[in-house]
Amino acid sequence: MVREELCGIVASNLMLRDLGERECSLFLEHGRPRRAKQGAFLFHQGEPAELFYILIEGQVKLTQVTPSGDQVILQIVGPGGGIGIIVALGEMDYPGSAEALEDCLDYSWDRETARRLMLQVPQLALNGMELVAKRFANLQARYQEVATQRVEQRVAITLLRLVRQFGKREEEGVQIDMALSRQDLAEMTGTNFYNVSRILNKWEQNDIVGLGRKRVVIKNAHVLVVIAEGIS
């Protein structure tokens, strides 16, 4: 990967918003590249948070095990996404685990390096706080979805969210360009495998989605939006 392309991916992260080319280059120079094989963990829930990551290639799944022992998927991160920003803002443990869904390349910054860069470039600190605020707002929205919306709505909202992040247009419709199992969808929506299977099978019969092995194609996005908004 050429440096210009690498800088472009890193600069797309909210952490580097409103920074000039010199500041972006300074930030990148202090990062350490690392490759992770599919199935490898960047970190595990409960480990001391030591590194902040920006993903360059691949996809990473962020999960959390609840006190009752259930696993939930918090987020799927693609290129340009940041992981573990709490490292730079406080001495904490990782609240979840990060697993590579495919072979990945990331850049990482340790706590002291990230803090030193924030002192040199205050906009980094402001961006970091905004990033944490957005994550908190997203978690609140997810909690509200689980508490107030029907399962079918939650599945529709989640698919539309993934389309915005990983959608790839093809002849049949818009494919969610990632391996996506029914169990994954269940963990994203606070339900179980059987509910997700029932809903997806019904939508496939009604030509709203197309299904394959860990593959979902959105064939009628308008109907999916109607379901997500609770109109039907």
Between CA 158 and CA 191 the distance in angstroms is 12
pLDDT value of position 198: 96
Has residue 232 got a pLDDT over 60? no
The percentage of the chain sitting over the pLDDT mark of 90, rounded to a whole number, equals 50
Give the model's pLDDT for residue 138: 78
| Among the listed residues 74, 82, 73, 102, the one whose alpha carbon sits nearest the alpha carbon of residue 12 | 82
* Inter-CA distances, 231 with 146, 225, 228, Å: 17, 9, 8
Instruction: Calculate the average pLDDT of the chain.
Output: 88
pLDDT at 147 exceeding the cut of 70: no
Task: Give me the pLDDT at residue 230, please.
Answer: 79
Query: Is-above-0.85 flag for pTM?
Result: no
pLDDT at 190 over 90: no
Q: Rounded mean pLDDT of 200-208?
A: 95
